[in-house]
Amino acid sequence: MHLILRILKISGIIIVGAVAVLGIVYLFLPKGPRERIPFDDPYHTERPAATGEQYMAAAGNPWAARAAMDVMDRGGNAVEAAVAALLVLNVTYGEVASFPGVAPILIFDSASGKVESYTGAGTAPAAATIEFFRSKGYKTVPKLSILAQLLPASPDVIVAVLQRYGSRSFSELCAPAIRLAEEGFPVHRMMLRNLNLNIFERLAFRILMPYNAQVYLGGQWWRTLHHGERFRRVDLARTFRAMAEAERDALSKGATREDGLKAVRDYFYKGPIAESIVEFHKKAKGLFTREDLANYRGYWEKPLSGRFKSYTIYSNDTWCQGAVVPLTLQILEGIDLKRMSHNSPEYIHTVLQAIELAMADRERYMGDPKFVKVPIRGLLSPEYATERRRMMTPGKAFGKMPPYGNPWLFESTNTGTAAPLQDLAMNAEENGNDYGKDTSYLCVVDKQGNAVSLTPSDFPQSPMVPGTGLTLGIRMTQFRLDPAHPSSLAPGKRPTITPNAGMVFKDGKFFMAIGTPGGDMQTQAVVQAFLNIVIFGMNPQEAVNQPRFRSLNWPDSFSPHTYSPGTIELERKLSVAAGDALKKMGYRIKVKDDWEYSFSAVCAIMRDPATGKLIGGADPREESWAIGK
C-alpha cells in the first residue's frame, strides 16, 4: 500500500511538472496575428440596395461578387460569372461552402425563356447501406467521420453548365480563385465565428483531423485566427491548377472546348484526384471506390414550380427541400397578410403555421425522385394548399409538428396512398436543434437577361483529403437510417439536402433570383424575404434587413435529427415587439441577437417590373455583398 501511494505521489508530481512545462512553453508560442490585410468587412453593416441597368451579382462575400462582375465586365454571361464566383467562394468561404461539395443550381436562359435545374447533390457510395451503419452500432449517420461523406457534386455541375451555356474555359474562370488561394485574403468575421474554437477544441481538432487543422489553423493549433490576417489555401490552389492544366493539355492536342471541359471532369472523377480520394478512403476505412467516383453523374431536370398571386416560384426537385417555398406560399395564398401588418404576432403565427405544415409534408414525402415516388403534383396543387390551409389554428400554436396531408388525392393520376397519420417526430430526440455552420449563396443576372441561382455548401467536419485542399463534407448526415423515411439511406441515392436554389417570375417574366444558407432555416428565410418584397413593397435590401423568426417544430435535417416541439426562435427586436403575444398562443420562445447569422443570410437580385432596372440585396447577417452596373 505504501509503495502504491509513493508511485501515485511521484506520478502526480510528474503530471503537474509536465503541465507546468507545457504551460510555460505555451506562453512563449506565437499567438498574435500574422500579416494583416486592410479591408472593409461588410459583416453587420448597413448598406443601400445595389442597383444596376446592365448586370448584377450578389454573393456570400465581396470577393465572390467581384469575381462574377469581372467576368461580365469582360463580356461573359451569367453562368460563366457564377462559376467564377462559386470557385472564389470555395476559397474565401471554404469552411462553409467547400470545393467539391454540393451546388444546387437554377438557370434562366433568356433566349429560350426556360428555367432549368441541375442536380447539385452527390449520391451515397455503393457500400453505404442502412445495414452497414446499423452493424457499426449507429442510429444515425455519424458526424466528424469519413463515413459521413457524400460523393462530390460541384465539379460535375461546373462542367455540365459550362458545356451547355458557356464559351469560356475552366482555366480562365478558375484564375481568380487560384490567385486568392495563393496570395491570400483577409480573415473575415464569419470565418472567425465559424472557426472560433477554444484551445482544447483546437487541440482536439488537431488530433482528430490533423490535415483539416493544418489547412484552417496553419499547423499551429494553439494559435487563434485574427480578423484581417492573411489566409491562404495553397493546396486547393494546386488542385485547381492541376484541373486547369488537364484542360490546357487536352486543348493543346486539338480537343474541342467541350472535350477540354470533359478532361477537367475526368481529371477529378477518374484521374489523379479520384486516386487521392480513394487512397485516402482505403487508409481511413471509408466507403468510396474508384467505381463510385467514375460512375457519378448529375442530370438536367425540369424545375418544380408553384404559384402565389401573379408570381411563379421555381425550385430544384425533391432531392432538396426547395419545394417547401412554393408549398408554403400556396398555403398562404388565400390569406390577407397585408391586413395583419408586417411582423405582427398574428402575421408571424400565420406564416409559421404555413411553414410547419409544409415542413411536415417535407418530412413525409420529399426524397430523391429516382428512388421515392413523390406526389409532387398533388403537393403543389392549389386545391391541396386549400386543404392544408384548413389545418391552421388562428391564435393557437400547433405545439408539435402538425400531421402531414394526403396529396395523393390531388394527383392527376392517383397511384399512391398516404400512410395513416402519425407523429413523424416521435422517434426524434427532443432537444435543441444541432445546427451546422454551413452553406453560402450566389446569384447573377447578366446584360442579356440570363440568370443563375446557386447554393454551394459543405464544411470540414469530416477528414479532408490530405494534400489536396478538398472537403468532402458530412452531407450523408442528411440521410435517415429508417427505411420508411423518404430520405432513407440507399446506395446511389441523394439525401434530401437543405441547400436549394430559388427563382421567381412575375406574369411570365423573370422577377428575382433568391436564396440563402442556413440549414432548415433556408426556406423559412426565403419565404419571409419574398413576402417582405411582394406583400409589403420593400426593395430586396430592405427585405433582407428585417428581423426574422424561425420554427424548430420538426426533426432537424442533420444527424442526430434533434427535435424541439413547439419551439420558435425570434431575433431580439421581434421578441420585444411580439414575444409575449406569441407565448400566449402557446409557443416556446428562444431569443437570439438581432442580425444573428443562424437566421440565414439571404441574397436576392430583382428586376423592377416598372423600370426594368436591377435591384439587389445582400444580407448583413454575414459578409454578403451585391454589386450592380
Where residue 614 sits, what CATH number does that domain have?
1.10.246.130
Residue 58 lies in a domain: no
Is-contact 441 96, C-beta < 8 A? no
Looking at residue 11, its pLDDT comes to 45
Residues 377 and 283 in one domain: no
Name the percent of the chain lying above pLDDT 70: 91
Q: Once rounded to an integer, what is the mean pLDDT over residues 431-452?
A: 80
pLDDT category of residue 197 using cuts at 50, 70 and 90: confident
CB-based contact 447:54 (threshold 8 Å):
yes
pLDDT at 306: 98
592/11: higher pLDDT:
592
Q: What is the pLDDT of residues 582-592, one digit of tens each?
A: 999 999 999 99
User: Is position 579 within any domain?
Assistant: yes
296 and 308 co-located in one domain: no
Q: Is the pLDDT of residue 10 over 70?
A: no
Task: Label residue 201 by pLDDT band (50, 70, 90).
Answer: confident
One-letter amino acid for residue 202 of the chain:
R
pLDDT tens-digit series, residues 114-138:
999 999 999 999 999 999 999 999 9
The CA distance from 386 to 402, in Å, is: 16
- Do 271 and 126 sit in the same domain of this protein? yes
167 in the same domain as 88: yes
What pLDDT is attached to residue 9?
A: 55
Domain count for the chain, please give it: 2
What is the domain extent for residue 520? 303-412+423-437+500-628
C-alpha 129/C-alpha 108 separation (Å) is 37
152 and 273 in a single domain? The answer is yes
Q: Residues 480, 488: contact at Cβ < 8 Å?
A: yes
Q: Is 46 within the bounds of a domain?
A: no
Assess if residue 13 is contained within a domain.
Answer: no
End-to-end CA separation in angstroms for the chain: 83
pLDDT tens string 478-533: 999 999 999 999 999 999 999 999 999 999 999 999 999 999 999 999 999 999 99
The verdict on 154 and 284 lying in the same domain is yes
pLDDT at residue 410 above 80?
yes
Question: Quick one: 305 exposed, middle or buried, by C-beta within 10 A (0-12, 13-18, 19+)?
Answer: middle
**pLDDT at residue number 222:** 85
Based on the domain organization, do 292 and 312 belong to the same domain? no
pLDDT higher than 60, residue 1: no
Q: Is 431 or 582 the better-scoring residue by pLDDT?
A: 582
Residue 78 lies in a domain: yes
Asked whether 209 and 463 are in contact (CB, 8 A), the reply is: yes
Residue 31 covered by a domain: no
Q: How far is CA 265 from CA 166, 178, 223, 296, 337, in A?
A: 15, 18, 37, 11, 48
Is there a single domain that holds both residue 204 and residue 85?
Answer: yes
Claim to verify: residue 221 and residue 95 sit in the same structural domain: yes
How confident is the model at residue 435, as a pLDDT? 39
pLDDT of the residue at 436? 42
What's the pLDDT tens digit per position in 22-70?
455 455 556 567 789 989 999 999 999 999 999 999 999 999 999 999 9
Average pLDDT over residues 201-205: 88
What are the pLDDT digits (tens) for 292-310?
999 999 999 999 999 999 9
Pair 356, 380 in one domain: yes
Kindly tell me if the per-residue pLDDT of 4 is higher than 90. Answer: no
Task: Give yes or no: residues 276 and 342 share one domain.
Answer: no
pTM of the model: 0.93
Is 223 in the same domain as 342? no
Residues 137-164 pLDDT 10s: 999 999 999 999 999 999 999 999 999 9
Exposed, middle or buried by CB within 10 Å (0-12, 13-18, 19+), for 498?
buried
Domain-embedded: residue 427: yes
Residue 100 lies in a domain: yes
